């Protein structure tokens, strides 16, 4: 799928989680619902770090372009080193390492560790990166026609304001993990979810997605998981733009209202 659809699906997924836990001991305070949806929308772009032309490659100027090149090379090297007898040869690393469930869990765990052990600036950095990505994905038309600096300023300002809201008692800095010193440990959860939603979305397209790597399936380590080929679609096709994106918006809105006990 393309960037806007990935971001919409990520936000909708987090709002769906919020609706599912509403009324339980793990109900999300509204700041967690909002911030988590934005982080998940941004994280749903992150697996495309292995693609030099993806939305994320343009999000932070030369830094993100360089990082995407490095991740592409790393992913390709891992693919070549671990491919099974049934895996084809390939020239790049797109839809390999960063499109696996293992990668999603490791990135989420690393983010949680950084948020818990780092200072306030670590939390602000995590928020800034993912809010910029959320703007690039959810407001892609405006982001494409605006200066990168304006998008970065919006991300930085939003990160500062939202962190201040979360820091207020009862607003969710300790949501899900309430032990002393566990504030913001939950930040890794929407990042894992966003990456997995991205992988599932790509699995619905023609090429499939190797979500289950390194489990061997049909003599392949990089088996492209997906539905029957007759049910798949091409990235950016009318199915994605005219059907899936509206569905994500409607479901996300309904789930958000449910999470806030409005429905």
Of the candidates 134, 139, 178, 170, the one whose C-alpha atom is nearest the C-alpha of residue 155 is 134
pLDDT at 29: 96
- How far CA 33 is from CA of 20, 61, 101, 199, in Å, comes to 12, 29, 23, 22
DSSP 8-state code for residue 218: T
Tens of pLDDT, residue by residue over 14-70, are: 999 999 999 999 999 999 999 999 999 999 999 999 988 888 998 999 999 999 999
Whole-number Å distance between alpha carbons of 195 and 64: 18
Locate tokens 């304006």: which residue?
150
Q: Is the pLDDT of residue 247 over 80?
A: yes
**Average pLDDT in the chain:** 94
Distance CA 30, CA 257 (A): 11
pLDDT greater than 90 at residue 12:
yes
What is the distance in angstroms between the CA of the first residue and the CA of the last residue of the chain? Answer: 30
How far apart CA 8 and CA 14 sit, in angstroms, is 10
pLDDT digits (tens, 9 = 90+) for 127-168: 999 999 999 999 987 877 788 899 999 999 999 999 999 999
Q: Flag whether pLDDT at 86 surpasses 90.
A: yes
CA distances from 125 to 114, 138, 146, 203 (A): 10, 20, 22, 30
């Amino acid at each position: 799928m393309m960037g806007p659809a990935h971001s919409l699906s990520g936000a909708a997924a987090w709002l769906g989680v919020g609706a599912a836990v509403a009324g339980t001991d793990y109900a999300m305070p509204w700041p967690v619902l909002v911030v988590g949806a934005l982080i998940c929308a941004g994280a749903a772009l992150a697996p495309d770090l292995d693609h030099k032309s993806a939305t994320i490659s343009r999000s932070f100027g030369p830094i993100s372009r360089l990082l995407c090149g490095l991740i592409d090379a790393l992913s390709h090297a891992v693919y070549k080193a671990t491919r099974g007898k049934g895996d084809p040869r390939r020239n790049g690393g797109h839809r390999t390492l960063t499109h696996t469930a293992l990668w999603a869990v490791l990135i989420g765990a690393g983010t949680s560790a950084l948020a818990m052990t780092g200072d306030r600036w670590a939390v602000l950095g995590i928020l800034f990166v993912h809010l910029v990505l959320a703007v690039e994905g959810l407001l892609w038309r405006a982001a494409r026609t605006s200066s990168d600096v304006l998008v970065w300023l919006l991300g930085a300002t939003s990160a500062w304001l939202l962190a201040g809201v979360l820091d207020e008692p009862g607003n969710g800095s300790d949501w899900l993990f309430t032990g002393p010193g566990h504030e913001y440990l939950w930040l890794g959860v929407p990042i894992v979810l966003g990456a997995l939603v991205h992988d599932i979305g790509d699995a619905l397209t023609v090429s499939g997605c190797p979500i289950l790597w390194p489990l061997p399936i049909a003599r392949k380590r990089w088996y492209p998981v997906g539905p029957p080929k007759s049910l798949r679609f091409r990235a950016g096709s009318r199915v994605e733009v005219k059907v899936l994106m509206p569905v994500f918006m409607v479901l996300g809105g309904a789930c958000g209202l449910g999470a806030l006990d409005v429905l």
